[in-house]
DNA sequence: TTGTAAGCGTTATCAC
DNA sequence: GTGATAACGCTTACAA
């Protein structure tokens, strides 16, 4: 692969001049410039940005760590990040921690060795996240979706409590008083806060809370299936279920389907996060939805601002509002 | 951020010696080594692999270009790639071309400037793929899922013709003779070959081919919906439909659902690639499925072999067999 | 067992 | 306008 030196030789100039035209710094005689551009063309020269990064101390890369790329939420978010980042001249390293704190650690080290300019991460666990101890020197970090309490990082999250509250409130409005919860893991904010919203709605509307209705899953499909089964096998089963994420909702729906129960009649369901199935099934499923792509874009924009030196007294926390998308599944009264 | 120099100074040795212990080259007195390791610890030193890559001429990175990260096929494949790559010390750059040839070009340039050691790509279009003209110097490339005719690259693909053939054959066995096709775009092999298999099965089983049954979609959900509508609105509608990818199948199913047609009775469906919906709906959907994760792993392994200098007379083409997963939707006769 | 120094492909600072 | 050259943080002969 040819270097700036080769181009310089071919165009009969010094490498400094070549560098000037590559970087559009001006101050080069037009005739020289065109000679250089020709040489670049002929040699099929491509500047080595990694050599450049050594001297400018910027790699123009950002690392993105997600816990489960197979959860349809993340591909959309990633699209948002990637698109925004590319527009600003950044390339993204994507890594999947598989909800594992250890894996998250390994990825973090690898990314640090690669000197990414910044990081967007959805941590595998708030409490023992490697980010808590992590020394990423001065590279900024933006937390996505999962907040870490008291951390010094910017974050973009959803008002999970509110989202869950709205969902449960909707069920109450529809007349339900026996509402089951298939909750998320309590080691991450989306898990905890959605449960909090569930409880708050019960309190506000003076509906007795039944501990046996509050179940904790792990955001994966299988747990939705299993916990759905558990709820519906009770002697006093709930008449409605709020499921705290898309994959668990999927599992729950599969269980309901398998038991030939009728959605919206035998059991009413509200999910958190939309999914293909939601608009497919009959009746279509009411869900709490959020702007995934936008979340990615915001995260990227916060990060790039920091990379470019923006300073703030406090870490910025962008809280987006989820939206209740009411479909027929909860609309029969 | 501290450098090898800082470590050297702190440990009272030369940078060469530090380098030796970082890279586990041996030949360092144990006492010196432990002094150095201590210094590394204290300074929280992390080697700059991008500086290293300048001298060893290897970045230990691979680029991955997919056309649509929101298609559930790709996240699984990516998982396979990433996992394998990381095991071998490579980090992946992921980029999404959004089925656009121009975007693919831009990504290719960016990745070249970053000097990735190799590339795994699912091209946006076989015919005018930038890869055809592309000079990636000596960096190896592996084609994934979409083959490029006469290209010099290794590839891992599915026997699409066979997969489609098997699917249609199955429909024929079930007694169908009016079989519609929601095909993929003809500018990529999966599109063309699946149509080929559809036709071949008709020929082999002496079923007349009706041109009006052969429709071309774009692998996106909307086209499945639209073409399904078109097929089912015909005066002589097909009794079965073969849909050439998961997203189009989703669209098709949504249409069927919306029209309150009964799957497996009013219309029989076979899809290419599995999807959540397949095991959800009643009756569960028969599909052609393929080992996505494995495809990713294979692609990564071929690539890394090449990166490590393996040479072959001919480009290697790994053709995996898809599997017909027969579920109730086609099993009523 | 350890150190010195050249070199990787750039950018940036000076001179001219 | 243009050219030398130091520097970026490392690896790798080669020397000691």
Q: Return the minimum-mean-pLDDT range out of A180-184, A327-331, B187-191.
A: A327-331
Q: What's the CATH number where B12 sits? A: 1.10.260.40
Do B185 and B105 share a structural domain? no
- Within 8 A by CB and 6+ apart from B222, the residues are B251
Instruction: Kindly report, residue by residue over A207-234, the tens digit of the pLDDT.
Output: 999 999 999 999 999 999 999 999 999 9
Range of the domain at A52: 4-56
Residue B186 lies in a domain: yes
Q: What is the pLDDT of residue A282?
A: 82
Chain-chain contact of A277 with B277 (C-beta, under 8 angstroms): yes
Evaluate if pTM is beyond 0.75.
yes
Q: What is the pLDDT of residue B316?
A: 97
Q: What average pLDDT score do residues A292-298 get? A: 97
Do B85 and B125 share a structural domain? yes
Residue of B86, B110, B85, B84 lying closest to B96 (CA atoms): B110
Do A192 and A257 share a structural domain? yes
Instruction: Kindly report, residue by residue over B194-217, the tens digit of the pLDDT.
Output: 999 999 999 999 999 999 999 999
CA–C1' gap, B7 and D10, in angstroms: 13
Do B236 and B179 share a structural domain? yes
Helices (H) and strands (E) in chain A — how many of each? Answer: 13, 12
Do B268 and B174 share a structural domain? yes
Q: What is the pLDDT of residue A280?
A: 87
Residues in chain A closer than 8 A to B112 (CB atoms):
46
Selected for mutation to probe chain B from A93, A105, A113 (highest B CB count within 10 Å) is: A113
Do B91 and B182 share a structural domain? no
Q: What's the CATH number where A235 sits? A: 3.40.50.2300
- Please indicate whether residue A120 or residue B279 has the higher confidence score (pLDDT): A120
Residue B176 lies in a domain: yes
Residues in chain B closer than 8 A to A247 (CB atoms):
none
Instruction: Kindly report, residue by residue over B78-126, the tens digit of the pLDDT.
Output: 999 999 999 999 999 999 999 899 999 999 999 999 999 999 999 999 8
Do A133 and A23 share a structural domain? no
Do A251 and A166 share a structural domain? yes
In this prediction, residue B135 has a pLDDT band, given cuts at 50, 70 and 90, of: low
In this prediction, residue A136 has a pLDDT band, given cuts at 50, 70 and 90, of: low
Residue B38, token pair as written in the block? 């201590």
Selected for mutation to probe chain A from B6, B46, B107, B258 (highest A CB count within 10 Å) is: B46
Across the interface, of A44, A110, A135, the residue whose CB is closest to B44 is A135
Q: What average pLDDT score do residues B45-50 get? A: 96
Q: What average pLDDT score do residues A253-271 get? A: 93
Do B70 and B108 share a structural domain? yes
| Structural domains in chain B (count) | 3
Give strand D nucleotides closer than 7 A to any protein Cβ: 1-5, 7-13
Q: What is the pLDDT of residue A103?
A: 93
Q: What is the pLDDT of residue A116?
A: 96
Closest residue by Cα to the C1' atom of nucleotide C2?
B17
Instruction: Kindly report, residue by residue over A78-106, the tens digit of the pLDDT.
Output: 999 999 999 999 999 999 998 899 999 99
Residue of B188, B235, B178, B258 lying closest to B216 (CA atoms): B188
Residue B240 lies in a domain: yes
Residue B306, token pair as written in the block? 């090449």
B234 touches strand D (CB under 7 A): no
Look at residue B145 and tell me whether its pLDDT is greater than 60.
yes
Mean pLDDT of chain A: 94
Residue A327 lies in a domain: no
Q: What is the pLDDT of residue A333?
A: 46
Our CA-based measurement puts residue A198 at a distance from the nearest CA of chain B, in whole angstroms, of 27
Residues in chain B closer than 8 A to A76 (CB atoms):
70
- pLDDT > 70: what percent of chain A? 97
Residue B330 lies in a domain: no
Q: What is the pLDDT of residue B136?
A: 65
Residue A326 lies in a domain: no
Residue A230, token pair as written in the block? 């558990």
- Within 8 A by CB and 6+ apart from A201, the residues are A164, A165, A168, A169, A172, A207
Instruction: Kindly report, residue by residue over B231-254, the tens digit of the pLDDT.
Output: 999 999 999 999 999 999 999 999
A22 touches strand C (CB under 7 A): yes
CA–C1' gap, A6 and C6, in angstroms: 20
Task: Cite the beta strand spans of chain B per DSSP E.
Answer: 61-66, 91-96, 118-121, 141-144, 154-158, 179-183, 214-216, 240-243, 268-272, 286-289, 317-320, 323-325
Residue B333 lies in a domain: no
Q: What is the pLDDT of residue A9?
A: 96
Our CA-based measurement puts residue A93 at a distance from the nearest CA of chain B, in whole angstroms, of 5
Do B301 and B282 share a structural domain? no
Residue B327 lies in a domain: no
Do A307 and A267 share a structural domain? no
Do A266 and A314 share a structural domain? no
């Amino acid at each position: 692969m040819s270097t700036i030196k080769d181009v310089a030789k071919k165009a009969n100039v010094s490498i400094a001049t070549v560098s000037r035209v590559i970087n559009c710094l001006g101050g080069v005689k037009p005739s020289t410039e065109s000679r250089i551009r020709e040489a670049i063309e002929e040699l099929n020269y491509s500047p080595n940005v990694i050599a450049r990064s050594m001297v400018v101390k910027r790699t123009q890369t950002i690392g993105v760590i997600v816990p489960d790329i197979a959860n349809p939420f993340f591909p959309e978010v990633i699209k948002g990040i990637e698109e925004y980042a590319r527009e600003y001249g950044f390339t993204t390293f994507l890594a999947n921690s598989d909800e594992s704190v250890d894996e998250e650690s390994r990825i973090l080290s690898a990314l640090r060795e690669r000197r990414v300019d910044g990081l967007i991460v959805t941590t595998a666990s708030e409490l023992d996240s490697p980010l808590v101890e992590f020394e990423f020197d001065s590279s900024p970090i933006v937390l996505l979706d999962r907040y870490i309490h008291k951390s010094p990082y910017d974050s973009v999250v959803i008002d999970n409590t509110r989202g869950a509250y709205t969902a449960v409130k909707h069920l109450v409005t529809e007349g339900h008083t026996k509402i089951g919860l298939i909750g998320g893991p309590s080691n991450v904010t989306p898990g905890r806060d959605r449960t909090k919203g569930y409880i708050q709605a019960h309190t506000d509307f003076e509906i007795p809370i039944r501990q046996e209705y509050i179940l904790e899953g792990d955001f994966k499909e299988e747990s939705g299936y299993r916990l759905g089964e558990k709820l519906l096998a009770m002697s006093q089963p709930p008449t409605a279920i709020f499921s705290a994420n898309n994959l668990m909702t999927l599992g729950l729906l599969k269980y309901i389907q398998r038991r030939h129960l009728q959605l919206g009649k035998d059991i009413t369901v509200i999910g958190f996060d939309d999914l293909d199935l939601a608009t497919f099934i009959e009746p279509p499923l009411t869900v709490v939805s959020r702007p995934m792509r936008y979340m990615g874009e915001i995260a990227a924009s916060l990060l790039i601002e920091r990379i470019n030196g923006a300073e703030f007294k406090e870490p910025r926390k962008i809280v987006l509002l989820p939206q209740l998308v009411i479909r027929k599944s909860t609309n029969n009264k």
